[in-house]
Amino acid sequence: MTRSSGDTDARTLDGKTAIVTGAASGIGRAIAIRFASAGARVGVLDIDEPAAAAVVREITEAGGAAVAGRCDVTLAADVASAFDAVHSRFGPLDALVTSAGVAHVGTVEQTSEADLDRVYAVNVKGVYHALKAGVAAMKGRGGAILNIASIASSVGIADRFAYSMSKGAVLTMTYSVARDYIHDKIRCNCVAPARIHTPFVDGYLARNYPGREQEMFEQLSRTQPIGRMGEPEEVAELALFLCSDAASFITGSNFPIDGGFASLKM
């Protein structure tokens, strides 16, 4: 796959095997494509297998190497099987990005037990399953892990009770893995995006604000001090850096990518 002209030697993933969960759309898709363009062989894992296969076609048509796998991250057996399949195809794991996740809107009163269980199963237990499989694959040789957290991990966001709970857990799991496996040469970091313009955002606006999509999109965009939503490709660039040798001195860190939301909000 042709690399972008901005790549430097330290930021390439040549000869490395990467797995991205939730890679069929949004941030995960952008990361999988960017990793492939940087030379990685990518396992594109998602519960939506046809969409994952479409991402693989996009990568391979551009000259990259990727394989799709159906993976329900809430099931440990699914995760283990998918990781094994990537290993069989591309060899030992070097980089893991846990991007699979679901959203929920609501206060604690508006969050049902079923809502909470669903968010926990994907965003917390799903990350746990991927981390457990990833650490086991990297022990003895090292590697880089990147979790996709959220500004909701550390900033109070209205009507995001269950989602904030889950992303707070992602942040603290990042710290724990970084501390426990530093002597195994496994680095673990996370990124904390604010609003990123993904298909989820468009679907949310269409469902909740029919006929007012553009108006509400602009309103949500203005909640970032920088005046717009982020793009998945911008998160992917940060992910590439953190999973590359250029970031070899970075572990146990959380990187906001939020247009100034957390630090500049008035």
> What does the block give as tokens for 192?
């904390």
43 sits in which H/E element:
strand 41-46
CA dihedral 200, 202, 208, 210 (to 10 degrees): -160
Task: Decide if 209 is catalytic.
Answer: no
> What does the block give as tokens for 108?
């604690």
User: Is residue 265 classed exposed, middle or buried when 0-12, 13-18 and 19+ CB atoms within 10 A define those classes?
Assistant: middle
Alpha-carbon distances, residue 159 vs 72, 106, 117, 162, 190 (angstroms): 27, 4, 17, 9, 23
| Helical segments of 8-47, H only | 26-37
Nearest CA among 133, 163, 132 for reference residue 148 = 163
Single out the catalytic residue among 120, 128, 163, 175: 163
Catalytic residues: 163
